[in-house]
Amino acid sequence: MAMPPPSTLKYIIIGDTGVGKSSLLLQFKEKRFQPANGSTTNVEFAAKMITINDEPIKLKIWDTVGLETFRSITRSYYRDSAGALLVYDITRRETFNHLGSWLEDAREHAGANVTIMLIGNKCDLARRRAVNTEEGEQFAEEHGLFFMETSAKTARNVEAAFINTAAAIRENIEDRGSDASDECSPCSFMQEKWDLNQSSFQSGGGFQRGVGRCPRLTLVAAAAESYCKSNKVLLLTLFPC
């Protein structure tokens, strides 16, 4: 049986210079890490095929690659974006403090329905941490975002961040099309937190906490699937560093 043609989703990666945006993209696309030698000054583009629930999806991912230094990101960069990865560096407090400005730009130019994954990058540098995990979780909850900590260097959670975002986008699109009254929107996800029992997963050790609330959303993490079947269920699995 022939597979259906792939859906296409546009992602943007935003955040201060030096937080590891290009490194995250390189790790996801090519599964390798290249130390940064200063910021670059072009918009970088990458495409990659993934599969969500047997559906092929083509991700088109745009990285500012240095333009954020000059605050010269235009509306065309945000236009038609279904998802955004909002990245900060856990070792640099100022990159976390600037998240509000980036979030405002994303929602103004990409639209209220854009699905946003907040990423605390460089968790391999935990000894130099300036922003604790709980602060990232709190910011995500307050602003209706998903949240993960990643390491572009070790690849920790990088693929899961991209795939989880795609799964959320597809479910949001389906929900908006099938039930306009459903409150399953990016701004209503993060309402409560639950401690998890690892045995509740079909597989995949290391899942310790879930954040969110949604009647139907399915998110695929690195080694397990969790299905929303009630009003109090897992939305996002986190891998604490």
- pLDDT in the model for residue 163: 95
Q: Which residues contact 167 (CB under 8 A, 6 or more apart)?
A: 52, 53, 217, 218, 219, 220
Sheet of strand 209-211: strand arrangement: 193-195, 209-211, 236-238
User: In whole angstroms, what separates CA 193 from the centre of its chain?
Assistant: 18
Q: What is the DSSP string of 160-195?
A: HHHHHHHHHHHHHHHHHHH-TT---SGGGS-S-EEE
Instruction: Report, as ranges of residue numbers, the positions in the chain whose pLDDT lies below 50.
Output: 1, 41-43, 70, 178-241
Please, what's the b/e burial string for 195-224 (b: 16 or more CB within 10 A of its CB; e: otherwise)? ebeeeebeeeeebebbbbbbebbbbbbbeb
The tokens for 62 are 């745009």
- pLDDT in the model for residue 112: 84
Angle formed by the axes of helices 158-178 and 21-30, to 10°? 90
The tokens for 223 are 């080694």
At position 146, the amino acid (one-letter code) is F
In words, the CATH class of domain 7-164 is alpha beta
- pLDDT in the model for residue 35: 77
- pLDDT in the model for residue 26: 92
On the 0-12 / 13-18 / 19+ scale of CB atoms within 10 A, 158 is buried
- pLDDT in the model for residue 101: 94
The tokens for 179 are 């039930």
